[in-house]
Amino acid sequence: MKYYSTNGSSPEMSFREAVIKGLPHDQGLFFPKEIPTLPADFFDRLPSLSLPQTAVEVLQPYVSPDLSPEALRQICEEVFTFQIPLVEVEKDMYALELFHGPTCAFKDVGARFMSRCLQAFTGKDKRVTVLVATSGDTGSAVANGFLGLENIDVVVLYPENGVSPIQEMQFATLGQNISAVAINGTFDDCQRLVKEAFTDPELNKARNLSSANSINVARWLPQMVYYFHAWGQWKKLNSNATEITVSVPSGNFGNLAAGLLARQMGLPVTYFVAATNRNRIVPAYLETGQYSPAPSVATIANAMDVGNPNNFPRIQEMFGANLESLKEVVKGFWADDEEIKGTIKLVHQTTGYPLDPHGAIGYLSLRQLLPELHTPGIFLETAHPAKFKDSMEEVLGQEVPLPEQLKAFLGKQKQVTELPNDFAGLKLLLMQEHKEGTL
Ligand SMILES: *Cc1c(COP(=O)(O)O)cnc(C)c1O
């Protein structure tokens, strides 16, 4: 597969080149040159395929010829080791639980897949440093995805006071090839420092820097797999049903863009819902036709606090930037913190199901839209509720127990380098560690 830039002025690249580069020169996003369609018999077989088997069939055309079928099969078997179950919350309303991976959020899927691709492409004699800025979930998914891989070091930059204690523990206690750097600044400062590192010639000469940003094709494409897996599970339960709506709690819109790509490959999803918190740039666009990025506002669904969704150009690409055809498939919805809290509480009382703040927006969007759309619904549960322990306990008035994966991080020693909010300190650290070979 070749990948072109959505801005149209960068050369086409192979999968391998697109994974290593991350971003085209022209600040666009890599997009596959062709969107293959899957044969009808694939959908007949889908309900009985395992997650890794589904992954191989869906992803093969996108990684060929850079990964052999055998290499892809091995990667998929290492990546998709946890369940992604479809759970019936109430009649005709299902949760796709994406939180059974090592850091209890859907980003585990993309981060793990990307780590194995990068390892396959960088070879044995070349050390690569993955530099990533995080406001919480990305850092933990990337750090755990890359943990213990040979020849790849990961440096996670995060705002000193900007991530929850559980989130910090998930990347700051790992050791091995993972370093945590706390910046005395905000998440935006961390992102700026990462950008500066990528444009510093001396640093780039000393270390091969790579980014594990969510726009990397190796993080984006594997997210398609669980939409197919969800449909297969739903068909197993409802063999005669044909129409379905899938709601995607969204921030940067990588997840929804992957669902829409799956639909273009033939996945029979009738509608998608672009569900957001108060950062309602995309629902507002669907309603008014005005696309107006804005500074993000803080909400309790904080992994979706994005004011300028960086994957949205991929969605525009799929629909030829035609608002009318986009609106035929994608319905907009947004909810504020009070609605999110009310939904968590009500659903817990009536069904016993513990929604997390992100999944709650997905659930509520279906509650409101399905009566008009006349289909059953699936919403993505993007993170385990215990990742947001404090706000969950406040809403539910009872303790939310940690799952085993998160308990494992408790009581471990943190190893953090604290740095002021300037590039000189970061550069010195990266140059020194390089010289001493400690990373
Ligand atoms: C990252 C994240 C989202 C948003 O996903 P996008 O692909 O950026 O739209 C939603 N929920 C959780 C829990 C996340 O970590």
Q: Tell me, what's the pLDDT at 163?
A: 86
| R_g over Cα of the chain | 21
* CA 140 to the chain's CA centroid: 12
Is 376 near ligand 1, meaning CB less than 6 Å away?
no
* Cα gap 162→229, rounded to integer Å: 35
Query: Strands across the sheet with 178-183, in order?
Result: 208-211, 128-133, 152-159, 178-183, 416-419
Largest CA distance in the chain: 63
Q: How far is CA 244 from the centre of its chain?
A: 22
What DSSP designation does 340 have? H
Q: Which pLDDT score is estimated for 199? A: 86
Number of structural domains found in the chain: 1
Residue whose CA is at the smallest distance from ligand 1 atom 2: 303
Look at residue 434 in the predicted model and tell me its pLDDT. Answer: 60
Tell whether 100 is covered by a domain: yes
**CA torsion angle for 200, 121, 23, 145 (degrees, to 10)?**
-90
Q: Which atom of ligand 1 is nearest to the CA of 359?
A: 11
Give the Cβ contact number of residue 26 at 10 Å: 12
173 part of a folded domain: no
252 within domain boundaries = yes
Which segments of 123-174 does DSSP mark as H helices, in order?
Answer: 137-146, 165-172
Domain residues for the domain of 325 are 83-104+220-396
Q: Are 5 and 28 in contact (CB under 8 A)?
A: yes
With beta carbons less than 8 A apart as the criterion, state whether 211 and 131 touch: yes
- CA of 251, closest atom in ligand 1: 9
Q: Is residue 305 part of a domain?
A: yes
**Amino acid at position 50, single letter:** S
State the distance from the centre of ligand 1 to the C-alpha of 250, rounded, in angstroms: 6
Task: Identify whether 151 is part of a domain.
Answer: no
Counting every residue, how long is the chain?
439
* Ligand 1 proximity of 381 Cβ (cutoff 6 Å): no
In contact, 157 and 135? CB cutoff 8 Å: no
- Whether 97 is covered by a domain: the verdict is yes
Q: How far is the CA of 382 from the centre of ligand 1 (A)?
A: 7
Distance 320 CA to ligand 1 centre (A): 24
251 lines ligand 1 (CB under 6 A): yes
- pLDDT the model gives residue 411: 85
Residue 332 lies inside a defined structural domain of this protein: yes
DSSP 132: E
Mutating to test ligand 1, I would choose from 282, 304, 380 the residue with most ligand atoms within 8 A of its C-beta, which is 304
Task: Tell me if 122 CB under 6 Å of ligand 1.
Answer: no
Atom of ligand 1 nearest to the CA of 223: 7
In this structure, the residue with its CA closest to atom 15 of ligand 1 is 303
Per-residue pLDDT of the chain (439 residues; tens, 9 = 90+): 999 999 999 899 999 999 988 888 888 999 999 999 999 999 999 999 999 999 999 999 999 999 999 999 999 999 999 999 999 999 999 999 999 999 999 999 999 999 999 999 987 778 889 999 988 788 999 999 999 998 899 999 999 988 888 889 999 999 999 999 999 998 888 988 998 998 898 998 888 888 888 889 999 999 999 999 999 999 999 999 999 999 999 999 999 999 999 999 999 999 999 999 999 999 999 999 999 999 889 899 988 998 989 999 999 999 999 999 999 999 999 999 999 999 999 999 999 999 999 999 999 999 999 999 999 999 999 999 998 888 899 999 999 999 998 998 888 999 999 999 999 999 999 998 766 555 5
Model pTM score: 0.94
**Whether residue 362 has its Cβ less than 6 Å from ligand 1:** no
Residue 337 in any domain: the answer is yes
Could you please report the per-residue DSSP string of 345-392? HHHHHHH-----HHHHHHHHHHHHHHHHH-S-EEEEE-B-GGGGHHHH
Q: Is 249 in the pocket of ligand 1 (CB under 6 A)?
A: yes
Top mutation candidate among 108, 217, 246, 250 for ligand 1, by most atoms within 8 Å of CB = 250
Ligand 1 proximity of 304 Cβ (cutoff 6 Å) = yes
Residue nearest atom 8 in ligand 1 by C-alpha distance: 252
CATH number at residue 93: 3.40.50.1100
Could you tell me if the CB of 387 is within 6 A of ligand 1?
A: no
